[in-house]
Chains A and B, each alone.
Chain A
């Protein structure tokens, strides 16, 4: 149990997917202007990451021992297909939920956080349960980073920013400061 909590918190804050590993930067830069959108994007991410973790575990356990060199290809193909199937199912079953999260799903599938999760999970030899904790931690971490970023950006709109720094430069420098702040979490989980 202690190990599982370490995996979850490590992926969420200490080694935050976005701010320490630079995964999922496209939504971080693109969809972080409004807090509400950021929150929904984050939730959709948690959802897709969980599916990804299940897929990666299944492929690692049953398919890839026979053909290790097909790892990348099979990850990409299976995850993209499954997310699309889920997207269709959600659209059919709950149109309301689809309107909330659905538009983000295709965007997320081609996001490095998804493939990154699958690869990290494989490299670290996580099993089913460990993988799920890892996925949820990573998703919560992405959501946290997105929401923090969006909150700061909403405020920055009212601030007088030098003309030169407006746009991406400002976003990157804010991200740098956030990343710096998250470094303070290092050592949090060391029992010593």
Chain B
């Protein structure tokens, strides 16, 4: 019988600290003091930062990285997150020394190469989304959303239509929608979905009126299905004087197949870190570029890149006086945008049109096989878009094994779990999005693991309920984490 030795946990970097230990290769030559500065503005004690050697630092952070699941190491079917391969070329080219060293306020004459990439990115994004203008400045999806709703409000204000302060959202909306509405000084109005996942158009007709500023939709919806009545929805909202905002979280499902601009949307935000494969980085940086139709062109957040003949320049508040303003200190996440640019050049016209095809193929394949294996899709009679939802309501009831338990047990099988408990409308749900970059074997491996866990749920449910068993830590006590707040390392600990 093997006597397993539990590997020692990775200490917090401060625990490796020893006074006077330094990585001197990183020190600039000693410089004079700051005797010209008023003493009362100077620090008394040096800040408590770690004191370690360079090797200690490298070893510590390298070992930390090995505790993570990532796309590079694991299949990561997180619904709504589009965890596709992040091409290494995107990183290398975005990090060419000349791009890295350029100051944001350097003159345009010393940035034509960079600006050319930005301009072409704007143009390509316009083309794939069917919009008239693109601003690359919002730094994340939530900022893109803020920009979108703010532009809609600015549009109505500019026309002196001040009664319009209601934004309509479907019940299944993403958590940031209500907050965004409030930030923009408007109220939310929820409408229900039909049993098949489409927006209830009758409820929509009843909800629109002179107070309607707009509607926020994502298509395919957060329920993983295509909004079949979108043309009608657009007409109803436009006729009532409102505008349509598209949440681009699920753009991967329709890229190259249908364009939000053609569906009637007036403004969209894209998640470049989802659809256009920029890195998730353990929680950012993202990029929430926005696209607009003609009506909202004057309101775009600045700066935007313009072109005069062969040269490129920044378009600022001077040329767009009605802009909703600036959302970042400079021009947004430039390095992320360079990565998206490289990705789009490598996919090209044909590649862009096939992303959705393979994303849908993978999702529908998984749904079909999992259904056959005894799992319950939330919308069994609908095609999956690029993702689909399973409900484990039955398993929770019959075996007392929840969606959370399944998710944790999947980690033991070497797969990152799908998204759990979103959308809130579907009980005990798993939202599964394979993306187009995954192979058939990888999908089959995941499906086989799900089948194995289903069997475990029947024969040894305790194993599933207490998973994971093979990771660096077991299931964590998050009640204790919230009650006994330990948010910074302390010496005595």
Q: Do the two shown chains form a genuine complex with each other? A: no
